[in-house]
A and B are shown apart, each in its own frame.
Chain A
Amino acid sequence: MNTKSLEKTPWPTVLSFLLPGFTGFVLFVFLPMLSTFLISFTNYSGGPNWKIVGIDNYLTIAKDKHFLQSMVVTFKFVVIGVSLQIIMGLLFALILNRNFFGQTFFRSLFFMPNVLSSVGISLAFSLIFHPTKGIANQMLEFVGLPDSPWLTDPSTALLTIIMVVLWMSFGYYMIIFLGGLQSINPSLYEAADIDGANGVQKFFRVTLPMLSPTMFFALTMCIINSFKVFDQVFMMTGGTDGGGPAGSTNVVVYDIYQNSFRNFRFGYASAESLILLLIILIITVIQFNNQKKWVTYDI
C-alpha cells in the first residue's frame, strides 16, 4: 500500500541534512586522520623543505627510550586510572541505589566535579598539593602521617594526577552504572529471594551479569578517555620542562603535543600518533570481540 516508505530519499534532500555536520567531520577529522598517516613517513617540520623518509620515524621511535618511557607512563595511567574509576563508580552506584533521604542530592554532588573546568580544577589541586604547605600535607600532618611531595616527585606525581582525574570523573561512571542498575528487572531479585539467595549471591548471580552491558560500555569509554587525558597533565606538571618530574607524567598525548608544537617534529609526532591510535584501536577491538564471553544481553 504505501510503497513510498520503502523508497530511498532523494540525494539532494539527504545531503541537505547531512552536509552541515559532515563537512566539518571530513575536513577536520577524516582528512587529518589520513594526513597524519602520510605525514608520519616524512620529516615535515612546518617549513617548505621536507622529504619522504619512509619508515625512519618508526625506526627512531623503536629505539627511543623517551617514547618507551612515555608509553609506560600512559599504560600505568590507564591501568590504575581505569580500575579506580570503574570500581569507585560501581561502588557509589550500589551505595546510592538504595532508597534513602538525600539520594538525589548525593548523586548530583558526586557527579558535579565532572562538569567543571579541568583547567580551573587543576589550578585548585596545584594549591592543595603544594609540596611544602598545601592543604593535603596539612591534613596528613593532622592525622600524624609524613608529608608527601605529591606533584614534585617522580614516584608520586602520576598517582597525584590519577587522583585528580578520579575526583573529576568517578561520578560520571557512577551515573552510568546507576542507569544500568535501575534497568534490571526487579522480578529477577524476587525469583532469587524465593530461591533463598543471600545478598552476596544476588550480587554475583543477578546484579553483575545483568550489569555486564553497562560495564562493557563504561569500560570502553573509560579506557578511551584515559588515553586522552591532557589538560591535567599540562596544567599541573606542564610548566617549562613539561611532562612532570623526570618525565614521570609525560603521557603519550602530551609527548605528541610537545613534539608537534614545541619541537616542531611533525613527522615524528605523526608516527607517535599513529602508534597510539593503533594501540587504542587494538584494545577496543579486543574488547568488542571478548564481550561475547562475559556480556549478557538477555531479558
Chain B
Amino acid sequence: MTSRIKISNILSNIIILITSFVVLVPIFIIVTAAFKNEVDIFERPAALFTENSGLFNFQQLEMFPRYIWNSIKVTFFCTVIQLGTASTGAYAFSKLKWKGRDTIFLLYLMSMMIPIQVIIIPQFMIIRSFGLYDTHLALIMVASFTVFGTFLIKQFFMTIPDSLLESARLDGAHEWLIYWKIVMPLAKTVLATVLIFSFRWFWNEFFSALIYLTSPELKTLPLGMTDFVTEYMVYYGPQMAAAMISIIPVMILFISLQRFFIQGITASGIKG
C-alpha cells in the first residue's frame, strides 16, 4: 500500500515538472527572443543571451509608446467605471427590495452566454449613431458595466447581515449613505478582486478595439500587435518584444496579488 502511494507521488511530481516546463517555455521564448536577432531566435532558442542580444527589437516598435499610453488610459477609465457600476448594481440586486429584481438579475447572468460577435453589428450601429466610432470613448462606453463583477460583489454583499443595515435605516440614514459608509468599507477584498479582473480584462481586450478603432494613433496595445498579422511583417524579434510589453505588467500584477485572482475564481465557482 505505502509503495503504491510512493509511486503515485513520484508520478505526480514528474507530471508537475513536465507541465511546469511546458508552461514556462513560451514565456521564456518571449522574454529571451525579444532581445535576440532573427538568426539567433531560430538557431539558439534555448540561450538566455547571445553575443548579439540587444534592445534593437524594441527600437523598431516606434508606435508602441503611443499604444501603451492608449491602453493605460482606456484600462484606467474602464476599470474605475466598472468598479462603480458593479458595486452600485450589486447593492441594488442584494440589499434593496423591488419588483422584478431577480428577473433582471437572471437576464444579466444569461447575457454571459452571448458571444460578443453575436451582438456586435447593432452595437456598432448604436456606437456609430452616437458619433463615437473611432474614439476611445466607444471602448469605455461598451465596457461601462460588468456582469461578472456585479455577480461577484453581489455574492459578497449577501453575506453582510441585513440587521447591520436595518439599524442605520431606522436611524433615518439614506441608502447611499449606508452603501458608502457601511457596506463598501466591508467589501474591500472583493472590490480589489473585481478591480484586478477588470484591469486584466481591459489590458488584454482585443475584439472591441478591433471593431471600434481605425486610427493608428488610437490603437491599444493588443490591437497594435495585429500590425504584425495584417501588414505581413515576418520579423519575429519585434513581435516578441511587443508580446513581452503586453504580458509583463499583468505578470507583475499577478505575482504580487495572486491571492485576489484565486479568491475571485474560487468564489465564482463555489457559489455559482
A residues touching B (Cβ–Cβ < 8 Å)?
Answer: 2, 4-5, 7-9, 11, 13-14, 16-18, 20-25, 27-33, 35-36, 39, 91-92, 95-96, 98, 106-113, 115-121, 123-128, 130, 133-135, 138, 167, 172, 175-176, 178-180, 183, 214, 217-218, 221, 224, 227-228, 230-231, 234-235, 238-240, 253, 256-257, 260-261, 266, 269-270, 273-274, 276-277, 280-281, 284
Name the residue among B88, B162, B200 with the largest chain A CB count within 10 angstroms: B88
Q: In chain B, residues 133-164, which have Cβ atoms closer than 8 Å to a Cβ of chain A? A: 141-147, 150, 162
Question: Whole-angstrom distance between the alpha carbons of A164 and B169 in the complex?
Answer: 53
Given contacts A24-B142, A135-B25, contact A115 B265 (CB under 8 A): no
**Contact, CB under 8 Å: A92 / B247:** no
Report chain B residues within 8 Å CB of A266. 121
Given contacts A125-B26, A176-B265, contact A9 B41 (CB under 8 A): no
**Contact, CB under 8 Å: A20 / B114:** no
Given contacts A9-B97, A214-B270, A261-B211, contact A118 B118 (CB under 8 A): no
Question: Whole-angstrom distance between the alpha carbons of A82 and B42 in the complex?
Answer: 33
With both chains docked as a complex, state the minimum distance between the C-beta of A229 and any C-beta of chain B, in angstroms.
9
Given contacts A32-B119, A36-B118, A269-B121, contact A119 B176 (CB under 8 A): no
Report chain B residues within 8 Å CB of A22. 89, 104, 145
Given contacts A4-B170, A111-B261, contact A120 B150 (CB under 8 A): no
**Contact, CB under 8 Å: B236 / A109:** no
| 18 residue pairs bridging A and B, Cβ less than 8 Å apart | A17-B175, A20-B88, A20-B89, A20-B145, A21-B144, A22-B145, A25-B145, A25-B147, A28-B126, A28-B141, A39-B121, A111-B261, A124-B27, A130-B42, A175-B265, A218-B269, A256-B120, A257-B117
Interface size class of B (residues with CB under 8 A): 35 or more
With both chains docked as a complex, state the minimum distance between the C-beta of A58 and any C-beta of chain B, in angstroms.
15
Report chain A residues within 8 Å CB of B112. 224
Question: Whole-angstrom distance between the alpha carbons of A198 and B9 in the complex?
Answer: 16
8 Å CB contact of A113 from B16, B23, B42: B23
**Contact, CB under 8 Å: B107 / A127:** no
1/0 per residue, CB under 8 A from A, across B37-68: the answer is 00001100100000000000000000000000
Question: Whole-angstrom distance between the alpha carbons of A183 and B269 in the complex?
Answer: 11
Question: Whole-angstrom distance between the alpha carbons of A106 and B270 in the complex?
Answer: 21
Q: A14-B96, A107-B262 are in contact. List 17 more A-B contacts (CB 8 A).
A: A4-B170, A16-B88, A18-B92, A21-B89, A24-B142, A28-B123, A35-B125, A39-B122, A108-B255, A110-B19, A111-B258, A172-B265, A175-B262, A228-B115, A240-B230, A273-B121, A277-B115
Report chain B residues within 8 Å CB of A24. 85, 141-145
Report chain A residues within 8 Å CB of B145. 20-22, 24-25
State whether the Cβ of B99 lies closer than 8 Å to any Cβ in chain A: yes
Question: Whole-angstrom distance between the alpha carbons of A175 and B259 in the complex?
Answer: 12
With both chains docked as a complex, state the minimum distance between the C-beta of A272 and any C-beta of chain B, in angstroms.
9
8 Å CB contact of A127 from B27, B41, B123, B175: B41
Given contacts A4-B170, A124-B29, A135-B29, contact A109 B23 (CB under 8 A): yes
Question: Whole-angstrom distance between the alpha carbons of A112 and B113 in the complex?
Answer: 24
Question: Whole-angstrom distance between the alpha carbons of A25 and B106 in the complex?
Answer: 13
